[in-house]
Chains A and B, each alone.
Chain A
């Protein structure tokens, strides 16, 4: 398929300064729920442990499937000792948790700066513990990753482990990016209805990451992949290196976004138009109906995005096109122009997209613009509320199932709720 050329008339600018964003370690919070037999061991400082615990908030589990190997002074004195110490900690951990099948050693800012080579550690430990436990590594450090890029780094580290699908194998479709199980199941039913099956009539669709590390999908030159999340640059590159090809589409946010996303898969699979309509029309129309009441509440309201998850551009497209909101500023920590080309083309002309951040200047612009709704991180939300602005915590957009037809109205409701709340409170 020839590359589609997207035109865009948005104003893209870049900004540098203090970035009020999470680092990639935060992704562990949803990744450990998704991959149910994986353990995430951060090799870092007390700050890393404190960050994950604070970001996880109320999600306190007895013994969560994540922990931190806290580096202390002795580890800084000699790297040889640090490696020995790491082996000791991993031994201790695996003895405690025989249920773990996949262990991620997660690099952090301090481990990167002292150049503790976790890839060698992972190889060494994998050799010792395989086949019971596979040990992989990736970096979730703040110097290399912003928030959702932690998921990207994690998935990219898994790609080399995916089984090989030979060049003469039937084509398969890989959906890439962690989705809530409920969303995944809905998507699978839609793909089934569209007839995405292989020559033996089995589903040709695989999801990555899988729910269990023992169910890794196979890929090869006949694999086409569709990104379910907009922040997976490294994962996409790793998949391409294995011969898989990306299907260009919007992201499955909102009724239109989901339809175009599914359409991408349908075109690649040459699903005929009638069958595609039959498979998708009921859910699409139901989503449209559900959105009506939120459009009444949100139309004409002005919204301002602080950078957070890279979901900002697709969300802005959904809010502008399907709910008639006005985009004041769309901040994003990083803009992948190729993966977001279809999204940028759909943004209203003249939309201001700001890549990067200088939080103080951005706050100045936000206060000056007085938007009706601000999408921002937890550090900024209450101070903005106290200054009279309505806010939507962006982290909820990452933890809540928002993709697909059936979640389109839920997604709209997340933006409507703060506004409704403000009208209810009189005291």
Chain B
């Protein structure tokens, strides 16, 4: 049993729903108790889909448990088939139905429906949403493309000279973080590279489209969390290489273009040249010097966290102090990325652990999920969202990709806007004693209702609930030291106070003087 306050991922059947909802002409019959239909609102309210997810639930109740739940399930399958006339069906159980062991696969086979029916085994008490999505996608790809499989040991013949290369795009799902816009950005890039798109899956694909997956020359895998398993199978069966670079960030986009161009045998130059990226110039412009060495903490799914850490270091000049993920399946990759930039790696799906780590590392910017946004808000740290779990805000009305050159621009804006602009920071320091531009005055753009920075710092200190480690007793601040602390700009004062107190505790100093303050500053600035 695990005590869980907030969860990063839903159960695996929600992952299956993300696949079913992304596909066309597929219906998912889920053996599940009343109440599990809540999952519909993820799609209709968060993603604002104008249609119900193609899911029928048996919604059994206590009175059904004594009776024939198997019959209830079969009735639901037959009725869903008659009503929705899908090209293929997915059948499975949610966590509770898994316990009553009705065997949805066997029960639906017994109905002899004239369409492919894919039984899903998603162990709810071991696995989570992304795993469920990956497994579901893999199973339906196998079911639909399997009959077209060439004999074992098949080697893909070289393409006829003069024919355009074609690829599949794998991974985008319903309820994905910017999948809709990423797909548009990558489709455009592939067009510039002269590569045809055979099938995009699962987003927008029909079962018929899935049966044609083997016709492409190679696969572009955008989201390993949901598509890697299917991509590996396609690679093995149809001898299709997979483009593994995830085109998030400028460098990664360039590498992606090179990798695709090599596989497709086309010239990467037009795609590289036709890349009007503002982000690179903006990052080189003088105003961005204030970004240098900003300490950032990164947390998200593995793909977005690893990409964000690289962009932070190489494209914005930040210092990455921690990288974490809730995707245990990709723990090794995230650890490697953390090691590469000398940062702390955090592999956990425990929200409270992430909160404690952020409080401990005291970053100047948090790049995380909606959950970290709340952590950062409480600790008074700026934050930008880089990854699922998604929130209604992660489905902006405008075109707002993360991938490709436009994605790099979007990322630059999204990450830099929560920080203070360079000039602004200088002005704040210059005028910090000013009567109306002081640290107790709320930012003018927040209006008169904004809490004062002091109040938010105080509440941050209260809510962090962090036991002050290694400090048997609290050191006292000498009045002149307290006064000196007041001269430090408010947005770093909280950190200065904590660092000084930690320093004093480590040195067992009873009184914090002005000297202690600057000793601590020197100590931590090493």
Contacts and interface: CB of A to CB of B under 8 A. Distances in A.
Tell me the dominant secondary structure on chain A's binding face. Answer: helix
Interface in B353-380: 371, 374, 378
A197 interface: no
A68 B4 contact: yes
A86 B3 CA distance: 9
A222 interface: no
B389 to A, nearest CB: 9
Given A18-B59, A71-B1, A85-B1, A382 B45 contact: yes
Contacts of B50: 382-383, 385-386
B126 A382 contact: no
Interface in B1-51: 1-7, 9-11, 13-14, 33-42, 44-45, 48-51
Contact of B38 (A54, A93, A113): A54
Interface stretch (B91-99, B321-329, B470-478): B91-99
B526 interface: no
A360 interface: yes
Interface residues of B, number: 57
Tell me the dominant secondary structure on chain B's binding face. Answer: mixed
Interface in B266-317: none
Nearest to A88: B1
A121 to B, nearest CB: 12
A25 B10 contact: no
A103 B94 CA distance: 28
B4 A377 contact: no
Nearest to A359: B37
Interface centre among A46, A69, A383, A386 (most CB of B within 10 A): A46
Given A67-B4, A382-B49, A143 B41 contact: no
A54 B95 contact: no
Given A54-B38, A69-B3, A360-B83, A46 B11 contact: yes
Given A50-B11, A143-B62, A109 B1 contact: no
Nearest to B124: A45
B17 to A, nearest CB: 12
Contacts of A382: 44-45, 48-50
Contacts of A71: 1, 125
Interface stretch (A55-63, A200-208, A406-414): A55-63
Interface string A78-96: 0000100110110011000
Interface string A342-385: 00000000000000000010000000000000000111111101
B128 interface: yes
B113 interface: no
A49 B7 contact: yes
Interface string B74-96: 00100100010000000000111
A114 interface: yes
A237 to B, nearest CB: 17
A19 interface: yes
Contact of A47 (B3, B36, B45, B378): B36
A113 B10 contact: no
A378 to B, nearest CB: 4
Contacts of A67: 3-5
Nearest to B57: A18
B499 interface: no
Contacts of A51: 35-36, 38
A142 B2 contact: no
Interface of A: 18-26, 43, 45-47, 49-51, 53-55, 60, 62-64, 67-73, 75-76, 82, 85-86, 88-89, 92-93, 109-110, 112-114, 141-144, 146, 360, 377-383, 385-386
